[in-house]
Amino acid sequence: MSVLVLGHKNPDTDSIVAALSAANLYRARGIDAAAAAQGEPAPETAFVLKRFGLEAPQIVTSVAGRDVYLVDYSDLAQAPADFGKCRLLGIVDHHKLGDVTSDAPLECWIQPVGCSNTVLKLMYDFYGVKVPRELAGAMLCAILSDTVLFKSPTCTEADRKAAAELASIAGVTDVEALGMEMFKAKSNLDASPRDLIFRDFKDFDMNGRKVGIGQLELISLSMVSPELKKALAEELARVKAEGRHSALLVLTDIMREGSELLVCSDEPELIVKALKADPATMWMPGVMSRKKQIVPPLQLAFKA
């Protein structure tokens, strides 16, 4: 039975492409690996897969009895419910180290960069494996997505270098144009409020309290009508009622380089203060990254 290479719940482009690129690298190293995902590709990811002629990974919701590599996360909250019954072999990630554990030593590649696929490009180079043209294009797109076209504070020189090298392999001459095509696909709002909230949603354990944070990145927040914003807020209240202390939706305006916050919480004032959101408009100038600008200040606030 193949080893599973599995991304997080509510998979984004980095999660799905990382599963594909990591599985390809493991196979090149003689490991029988298969890419897997915990859900269907979101609109942006579907665009990327179609653009470069790739098939979506198999959908997996149970890993009991399987050997597993994780990509783009190491938090139990983002893993299948029966994760404790699998054998963890390794992690490729660019987030903080989470709470997964293992019974044996792991192969871990965790770097403070903007994208898991940047880490994977380093791994391809380390093992002397060539990146296939179609995968290079998808890996480039994952970097563009996670770094928001290099505008995110999470972006590093390693991300820019990997993107340039992957663009060369994929034959992409206009990286910015490709990025804008992706973000147009990502800005598709033709979905239910719940699906929009969970398009890129992660749960976090913050000092014993469950906090769910979704992020919706759009070309412009003018696309969100007052009616849709009201529907999102109402659905967010239902999401919070599903056993969470807080549920947040970060509406990111890619062109204005900032985000608006929707929040439903037992302690809304704590969250607004921690994120330094304007109480009148809930606008957070310069905030583009959930990983670096939303999660860390909230974790500090919940520890206080």
pLDDT beyond 80 at 304: no
Asked if residue 144 and residue 177 are part of one domain, the reply reads yes
- What pLDDT is recorded for position 136? 98
- What pLDDT is recorded for position 1? 87
Asked if residue 178 and residue 206 are part of one domain, the reply reads no
By residue range, what is the domain housing residue 277?
193-303
Domain endpoint, select from 149, 184, 219? 184
Q: pLDDT per residue over 177-231, tens digit each?
A: 999 999 999 899 999 999 999 999 999 999 999 999 999 999 999 999 999 999 9
Please compute the mean of the pLDDT values over residues 75-87 and round it to a whole number: 96
Contact partners, residue 226, CB within 8 Å, separation at least 6? none
The rounded mean pLDDT for the chain is: 96
Q: For residue 264, give the CATH number of its domain.
A: 3.10.310.20
Please compute the mean of the pLDDT values over residues 38-54 and round it to a whole number: 97
Q: pLDDT per residue over 93-134, tens digit each?
A: 999 999 999 999 999 999 999 999 999 999 999 999 999 999
Element containing residue 268 per DSSP (H, E): helix 268-275
CA distance readout (Å), 162 to 95, 118, 143, 238, 263: 18, 6, 8, 41, 36
Asked if residue 225 and residue 168 are part of one domain, the reply reads no
Query: How far apart are the C-alpha atoms of 295 and 304, rounded to whole Å?
Result: 15
Q: What are the backbone dihedrals phi and psi of residue 284, each rounded to the nearest 5 degrees, phi first?
A: -125, 95
